[in-house]
Each structure stands twice: as C-alpha cells, then as structure tokens.
Amino acid sequence: MKFKFNLKSNSEKSGKTMESSSIQSHLPWRRIVLKVGSALIAPDKNGCSSRYLLGIAEFIIKCRMHGTQVVLVSSGSVAAGSQAFNTEKERSIAVKKAMAAKGQMDMMASWDRLFDFPTAQLLLTQGDLQIHDRYTSIRETAFELLNNDILPIVNENDAVTSDDLKVGDNDNLSAMIAAAVDADCLIICSDVNGLYTDNPNVNKDAELLKEVHKIDESIFAMASGPDSSVGTGGMKTKLEAAEKATSNGILTFIVNGLKTESFNYLFDGKNPGTKFLPFDKPLEDHIHWITHTSKAKGEVIVNNEIGEIVDGDSLSFDHKDIVNVVGEFSIGDTILVRTEKGKKLAKATSQHSSCMLNLMASEEIDQSVIDSEDDNPIISEKSLAILENK
C-alpha cells in the first residue's frame, strides 16, 4: 500500500523556495539533520510500521517545501529484518548482521513509499569517517544529492561493520553527519519528551529541561534509566550527540518522535522538547573532526608534568616525556595523548608510528636516529585538539 504525500509544488521542482499562505513556517534553518530511531521504525519488533513515520515524513516534506534541506539518519535495519528469521535462542553477531542486510531493504522501501521525490541510501561505518579523504567524499556525495533535491537517508552499515570500525549508535552518527553536511540544526527523535532531571518512568517529580546552555557532568548525570528495548542508544548517547553537534555550532533538539505535535511545534518555531544551544565559538572543522569523529588508533602516555603545562591550543613534548605507547598505529593516524594519571590532554595526528615511538622512548636505537626523529615533532600542531576538563 502506498502512503505517498503529494505536497510538492512546481516551484520546489524547479529548485525555488515555495511561498504559500497555506505553508507558513518559522524555520530559520538552511539544512537540518533528522535522526529517527528503531523504536519509531519498528515499534512492535515485527517489521517496519508507518505508525509514527507518517508525521515525520510530512514534516520532512514541509521543510523541503519551505526551502530547508533535510538529511535523514534512520536506524532500524536490525529491528526491521528480525521478523524474517526464526531465532528462538540468543542471536549471534552473524544473525544480527543478516537481519540488518534484510531489514535495510525493508526500511528504505518503507521510507521511499512515503515520498513523491527521490531518496538515496548512504551506508557508513566509522572507517568511512575515520579517513579524512573518505570523510570528504561523504560530504561531496551528500551535497550532490541535496543539490539535486534527493533526500539522503543515512544508516550505519551494520551488515558488514566490525567492532573496531563501527560508530555503535546512530545518535552519535547523526551528529557526525550534521557536522559533515554543515547543518544548522540537528533533531534527535526519542520516545520521551526530552531530557529530564531524572528518569521520568521512575521519578514522577522529574522535570523536563527546556533549554541546556552547556553539557557537563551534571547534565550527563541526568541520563539515567534503561536504554530502549528496540534500539542501541539511550539518553546518554543522545547527549553525546548533542555535545558533538553544539561544539560545531549546530543547534540541537531532543524531541518525542512518537508525537506528531512535536514536529508541528518545530515547524512553527517552537521548542517541543529540550533545546541545546550551540557554542558561541564553534570548533574549527578539522579540530572538530579530530575531536569528535576520528577515533584514536592508540595512546601516547606522557609524564604527569606535561599535563600541567598545556598552553591554550598548544601541547609540546619529546621522546623523553613518553612513559608508554599503547596500541599499534602508523604515521598519519589519530592518537590520544594522556598522562600517567589518566588525564586526557589531546587528540592529534601522529607523525611517527607506534613502533618508532616505542624505540625512541626506550632509547633502544642509535642516538643519531633519535636526534633525527626529534627534529620532527611527535604530533602535528596543525591537527591538534586540546581536550579540556577530561
């Protein structure tokens, strides 16, 4: 059965913004990323359902009619495909991957039937985001789709990804995508109204926070309660995503995706859930990528004194300051620099391999080689992200 909405005007087809008295909006955003979770895609764990998707689809269409571009990040492939498998016992990783492969087709078909404009599928892993050339390629592909009025639908490629190459949840993936496509706003759909001071399912006195200016430890402490029984992310991952997005200057909302009125409120310029305000001074793009998207391949542990002399955006040390090297990495990989006590100082691009740093730190190679390598800083100041209060 088809549920396609037919709200597209001739002006939108020609690439012009529609102005109509019947479609009034206070949307100030040029481009938004909308994240929809498994609980909305397959609420009964029995395949895809349009129960909650109709209101979301209508919101997307109205945004496009108003001239606001939309990128959809949609979970749900495993939940959508589970009905095709007879698995009474605990599901193995291989079975879940097979479910994702089957469910991805169903999920895309479910979204596609709701629109009368073309959609496109982007399946990503952390590995795609990890390498900057591939990250740039993702940006270029997304922009070409948007420029041709095609709705990009993004999901993690659960059918093929491994533990070391997966993001793990689509909340954080949506924030990475929002940064990649230069979004103005990130909207994360939940099954609750937003962030509460405590778990509202347990504490009836828990209050909804309408606005958050800074995400700190006290805010993360409010993300209590069990995760969704359907998806992989709870409120904690949504706060992590909000932290990533706001640090890039992206306004972020957590709203109740089960309620159509949430999207009516957003379209009218009102806040239906919790609004997270963006940083006054967003991180530069390459610093944001290192901080929030690129995963550290290893760690360089330095003596505690180095942690006391971090100067603004600068961090300097040599092989004599290295206490240990953890993991295996190559030149050009992202690494984490931390002290013996565990204080995280920075993420940066390493200009030496882990093997060479181990040899330099132990001074088990010729001094002339060490002196030569010391002429080349261990980390690049051009790709250094200082981690504050970590």
Structure tokens at 119: 């959609």
pLDDT at 369: 61
Enumerate residues 6+ apart whose C-beta is below 8 A from 96: 78, 158
Structure tokens at 86: 């007879």
Q: Are 309 and 346 in contact (CB under 8 A)?
A: no
What is this structure's pTM? 0.82
Q: Are 206 and 197 in contact (CB under 8 A)?
A: yes
Sheet with 344-350, side-by-side order of all strands: 322-326, 298-302, 334-339, 344-350, 379-386
pLDDT at 131: 84
Give CA–CA dist 224/235, Å, rounded: 7
What angle (nearest 5°) sits at the alpha carbon of residue 255, between those of residues 209 and 2? 170
pLDDT at 282: 84
Q: Which CATH number fits domain 24-287: 3.10.580.10, 3.40.710.10, 3.30.1180.20, 3.40.1160.10?
A: 3.40.1160.10
User: Nearest Cα to 326, choosing from 309, 340, 308?
Assistant: 340
Q: What backbone torsions phi and psi does residue 347 show, to the nearest 5 degrees?
A: -115, 140
User: What is the residue-level pLDDT of the chain in tens, covering all 390 positions?
Assistant: 445 555 443 333 333 333 333 445 568 899 999 999 888 988 877 778 888 899 999 999 999 999 999 999 998 888 888 888 876 666 788 888 888 898 899 999 999 999 999 999 999 988 888 888 899 999 999 999 999 999 999 999 888 877 666 787 899 999 999 999 999 999 999 988 999 998 888 888 889 999 999 999 899 988 865 444 444 458 999 999 999 999 999 999 999 999 999 999 999 989 999 999 999 888 888 888 888 888 899 999 998 888 787 766 778 787 888 999 999 999 989 999 999 999 999 899 998 899 989 888 877 666 666 666 556 778 877 788 888 654
- For 296-386, which CATH superfamily applies? PUA domain (2.30.130.10)
User: Nearest Cα to 212, choosing from 254, 156, 161?
Assistant: 254
What is the domain partition of the chain in residue ranges?
A: 24-287, 296-386
